[in-house]
Amino acid sequence: MPAPDFHLDTSSSRDVVLRIATRGRQILRNPISNRGTAFTLSERERLDLSGLLPSRVTTIEEQLRRTFAQYRRSPSPLAKFIYLSQLRDRNEVLFYRLLSENLEEMLPIIYTPTVGEAIERFSHEYVGSRGLFLSIDRPDLIEQSLHNYVPDPDEIDLVVVTDSEGILGIGDQGIGGIQIANGKLSVYTAAAGIHPRRAIPIVLDVGTDNLGLLNSDLYLGERHARARGEAYDDFIDAFVTAITRQFPNAMLHWEDFGAGNAHRILHRYSDSICTFNDDIQGTAAVVLAAVLAAVRLTGVPLRQHKVLVYGAGTAGVGIADIVREAMAHEAGNPADYYPQFYAFNSRGLIVADNQGVRDYQQPYARQRSEVEGWELENPSRISLLETVRAVQPTILIGTSAQPGAFDADVVKAMAQGCERPIILPLSNPTSRSEAHPTDLLEWTDGRALIATGSPYGTLRHGEVYHTIAQANNALIFPGLGLGVSAVRAKRVTDEMIYAAAAALAGLVNEYRPGAALLPSMNDLRLVSATVAMAVARTAEEQGLARAPLSNPIDAIYQRMWKPDYPRLEVLNKGD
């Protein structure tokens, strides 16, 4: 049988082999095989590349210097995003090497916030895109489309899928959501070494309610309103069935689904397949890690804290769930701890007799009798300040995208009843943050323990330099995916999510004055390996590991691909 033109053997992440039978310019057009001026003179002769490249052979380090300078010259964040995308489509190894060595600088470009602009401009700037596009109007093509993307089911460890309804802070973006799936996979690779050829980015095109897209002549997706109800559920079920049949060892990662579907889909499939929702579980885990580190500093057991969640959407309720479960874990009893939580939606404090309370918010609704003695201006819309004064919370979490919601009155009222208030304004970008950490330090006389959704770096208050932790999901999901793939876990459980958060918190030395509550984004490879170890160990303890690890440290390390040009095996045509 004739040899395939290219075959990349990624069964060993530390010894990737590229078997290549093609010759000439086609090699330079394929991002898997292309290494540009790094081809040796011998390789150029054997592969018919002589004369197709400048004479000098360069190292990958020299290529990095050149590409980094070109990246820096790009005039805007979107231009930088486009440059990196084009580099990835030209030379995959070089792209990931550049990204992994400059991850803290480039993460805001390939991921939030810049990816949001790239998503909005997807159809207008389209120059090709990696990923798989599955349409609700052609569900019969799902399995064939998966096969077209990758024919070997053993080669896939991870599937990242979005339906683009809840993209970052910009909502329904139709088919452009493929870019968020690509962004996530880039982080999986750069932070945890998951080989890019062992993962698939997918967008489910179920239509869009974005009138701007529907009225644009350039929009590339299905031109109808977003599907709902039974048609939507049937399509999701057909997709899950096809994925689990074709890629039985893959973790299915749900990304940026709307609040109405995200919890429902996760609950529907979490007990039967290996699946994970980053907006719910990833966000929750990284916030829990920050909370655990902060709680250690307060000296007050977690189960005694009062938690106020301002913005009880997909992320907010996910955070409340995992912190509540951590309280029960700490206490060693099954108590539900719901009374420790106060949750807000757009109508104020969620009270059981209010209208518009979603199913997943109901467990956190307070009874009307609980608020009857409070000083209230309008009992049907209880404000954040009124709740803080009445409850005196010790942990304040913001996932509302309401800029300035944690104002001086709210923060000072909280600080009056709490020695070390834990305040986490998590909304992105900075223009939507509930508070600026400089103000939080000022209003609490430097006593606040802070983590934010956006990067703020180090701030000075008095004589102390405070490093503000960024509660970025990249601290959790890459390591989780690595741990799951290492043992081929059957499912992702709450215990595995908790183990990931605890492992992350364990990397923090929060006792130094002004220390960050989370590790630096510069340490993502270490963080991911540590999280992966905890997740893999927990999967084995729960009997969910299809491939238990005899030497966990070595096994995790060996699975972390480093972006180096693969070893070449040059085949003859027809071999």
Cβ atoms of residues 408 and 388 within 8 Å: no
Query: Quick one: tokens of 220?
Result: 């590339």
Q: How far is CA 509 from CA 285, 398, 440, 447, in A?
A: 18, 24, 21, 17
111 is catalytic: yes
The CA distances from residue 365 to 51, 261, 312, 334, 426, in Å, are: 71, 20, 11, 20, 22
Buried b (16+ CB within 10 A) or exposed e, 94-132: bbbbbbbebbeebbbbbbbbbbbbbbbbbbebeeebbbb
Identify whether 184 is a catalytic site residue: yes
Answer for the pair 275, 299: CB distance below 8 angstroms, yes or no. no
Which one of 71, 80, 96, 111 is the catalytic residue? 111
- What token pair was written down for 505? 């918190």
- Chain length of the chain: 575
Assigned token pair, 103: 């991850």
Q: Which of 80, 184, 188, 269 is catalytic?
A: 184
For the stretch 258-285, what's the b/e string if a residue is b when 16 or more beta carbons lie within 10 angstroms of its beta carbon? bbebbbebbebbbeebbbbbbbbbbbbb
Q: Do 166 and 146 contact (CB within 8 A), yes or no?
A: no
Q: How far apart are CA 284 and CA 480, in angstroms?
A: 13
Which residues make Cβ contacts (< 8 Å) with residue 361, sequence separation at least 6? 312, 317, 343, 345, 350
SS3 content of the chain, % helix, strand, coil (to 5): 45, 15, 40
Q: Side chain identity at 156, as an amino acid letter?
A: I
Structure token digits, residue 145: 């489309």
Tokens of 232: 């939507």
Using the Cα atoms of residue 168, residue 174, residue 176 and residue 180 in order, give the sign of their dihedral.
positive
- Which residues are known to be catalytic? 111, 184
